[in-house]
Amino acid sequence: MNSLGYRGRFAPSPTGKLHFGSLVAAVASYLDARALGGEWLVRIENIDPPREIPGSADLILSTLEAFGFEWDGEVLYQSDRFEHYREVAGQLRREGMAYPCACSRKEIGAVAPLGHDGYIYPGTCRNGLPPGREGLALRLLTHDRPIGFEDRIQGPITQSVASESGDFVILRADGWFAYQLAVVVDDQDQGITQILRGCDLLHSTPRQIHLQRLLGFATPVYAHVPVVLDGSGKKLSKQDLAHPIDPDNPLPALGMALGFLNQEQPPPDLDKLEDWWAWAVRHWQIGRVPKGEALRFP
Ligand code: GLU
C-alpha cells in the first residue's frame, strides 16, 4: 500500500467495447487516484458469462492501454475468484444471514413494487421455503435501519435497504454469483480504499455497505460521477456516434471526458498522451465534477 493508503480501481464488465460513459468513470477514478498519490487497479468483472461478449475484456484492456492508462499490478479477473465467492456465500448462509429462495421473477413481479434495482423482494421465503419448492437462489437478509454514506460528489446518501431494495440475491438461481457479492469481496481482498464509479451504482452502494458490515469488512470512501446521457436525454447506446472512442486517436475522447467532468482543458498544443495525463493529474479537482445522477452531453 502507498503511504497515503489510497487504492482505487476501475472495474469494467466485458459486455461490449469501452464506451464514453465508462471512459468518463475510468478517467475520473484514474485522475483522482494519481492526483492523491494513490494506486489504481483494473479488475475485469466477468462473473456473468451469459452476458459476456467474447473478446471484449481484451478489447477494453487494449483500449485503456492505447488511451495511456497505467494500472498497478496484474489485472484481476472475477472468473478466477468463484471459490472465494462460494466461501463467503456459504459463510453467510451458515451464519443465518442468507437464505434460499424459490421465487421466480414473475411470481415476485406479481406482488412486489419496483425498487432501485428490479422488484423489492416481499420476503416470501424469509422464514422458510414454501412446501415442495426448491431454493436455488440465495438472498441476503436486510434490515430497515437507514444506511448512509457521504459521497464525495453527490453528498449524503441514505437508504433503508429492506424497504427500498429488499432482501437481495447474492447467488443467482442459474448458479452464477451476483455482482453485489463479488464486488464487495473483491474490493475487500484487493484492499480498495476509494471507489469512484458511475451513478448507475449509486443506489447499490447501501446494499454493498450492508454486506461489508455483515462480513466485518471496512467500507471504502465512495464518489459517483453522473451517468452520461445523449443530446436527447437517453442513456448512451452501443452505436454512440457523438462520442467516438478511437484507440488510434485518444486525445479527442479524453478531452470530451474532461469536459463532461467539468475540468480545465489542457492547452491545445499539448499533443503527447504522456504530457496530457501529467497535466490532467496536476489540474484534477473533484469539487468541479457536476452533482447529479445523470447529465446530457454535449
Ligand atoms: N462492473 C461494473 C460495470 O461495468 C462496475 C462495478 C463497480 O465499479 O463497482 O458497470
Distance 43 CA to ligand 1 centre (A): 9
1 in any annotated domain = no
Q: Are 75 and 36 in contact (CB under 8 A)?
A: no
Containing 8, the helix (H) or strand (E) segment is strand 7-10
Q: What is the pLDDT of residues 161-193, one digit of tens each?
A: 999 999 999 999 999 999 999 999 999 999 999
Whether residues 190 and 289 share a domain: the answer is yes
Residues with CB under 6 A from ligand 1: 11-13, 45, 183, 197, 201
CA 9 from chain centre, in angstroms, equals 10
Phi-psi category of residue 233: left, alpha or beta, with phi > 0 → left and psi -120 to 50 → alpha: left
Containing 229, the helix (H) or strand (E) segment is strand 227-229
Ranking 182-196, 238-252, 264-278 by mean pLDDT, the lowest is: 238-252
Strands 137-140 and 98-101: antiparallel
Of 179, 212, 231, the last residue of a domain is 179
Q: What is the CATH number of the domain that holds 17?
A: 3.40.50.620
Whether residues 151 and 245 share a domain: the answer is no
Q: Are 23 and 2 in contact (CB under 8 A)?
A: no
Q: What is the CATH number of the domain that holds 126?
A: 3.90.800.10
Residue 187 burial by CB count (10 A; 0-12/13-18/19+): exposed, middle or buried? Answer: buried
Atom 7 (ligand 1) nearest CA: 11
Whether residues 118 and 234 share a domain: the answer is no
Of 179, 204, 227, the last residue of a domain is 179
Q: Are 196 and 32 in contact (CB under 8 A)?
A: yes
How high is the pLDDT of residue 244? Answer: 80
Counting the structural domains of the chain, the total is 2
How high is the pLDDT of residue 3? Answer: 45
pLDDT at 4 over 60: no
Q: What is the pLDDT of residues 57-105, one digit of tens each?
A: 999 999 999 999 999 999 999 999 999 999 999 999 999 999 999 999 9
Report the share of the chain in percent with pLDDT over 90. 92
Whether residues 52 and 65 share a domain: the answer is yes
Q: What is the pLDDT of residues 23-42, one digit of tens each?
A: 999 999 999 999 999 999 99
Distance 13 CA to ligand 1 centre (A): 6
Atom of ligand 1 nearest to the CA of 10: 8
Atom of ligand 1 nearest to the CA of 200: 10
How high is the pLDDT of residue 116? Answer: 85
User: Ligand 1, residues 18, 40, 197, 200: which to mutate, most atoms within 8 A of Cβ?
Assistant: 197
- If DSSP codes are grouped into helix, strand and coil, which group holds residue 57? helix
How many whole angstroms separate alpha carbon 65 and alpha carbon 63? 5
Containing 221, the helix (H) or strand (E) segment is strand 221-225
Predicted confidence band of residue 293 (pLDDT cuts 50, 70, 90): very high
Q: Quote the domain boundaries for residue 22.
A: 7-80+180-296
Distance 97 CA to ligand 1 centre (A): 25
How high is the pLDDT of residue 1? Answer: 42
Whether residues 36 and 107 share a domain: the answer is no
Distance 180 CA to ligand 1 centre (A): 10
Of 143, 162, 179, the last residue of a domain is 179
Atom of ligand 1 nearest to the CA of 183: 9
Whether residues 249 and 266 share a domain: the answer is yes
Q: Which residue has the cell 449524503?
A: 156
Q: What is the pLDDT of residues 112-123, one digit of tens each?
A: 999 988 999 999
How high is the pLDDT of residue 218? Answer: 97
Whether residues 216 and 141 share a domain: the answer is no
Whether residues 90 and 163 share a domain: the answer is yes
Whether residues 211 and 231 share a domain: the answer is yes
Whether residues 189 and 63 share a domain: the answer is yes
Distance 269 CA to ligand 1 centre (A): 34
Whether residues 247 and 187 share a domain: the answer is yes
How high is the pLDDT of residue 2? Answer: 44
How many whole angstroms separate alpha carbon 88 and alpha carbon 94? 10
Distance 189 CA to ligand 1 centre (A): 16
pLDDT at 269 over 70: yes
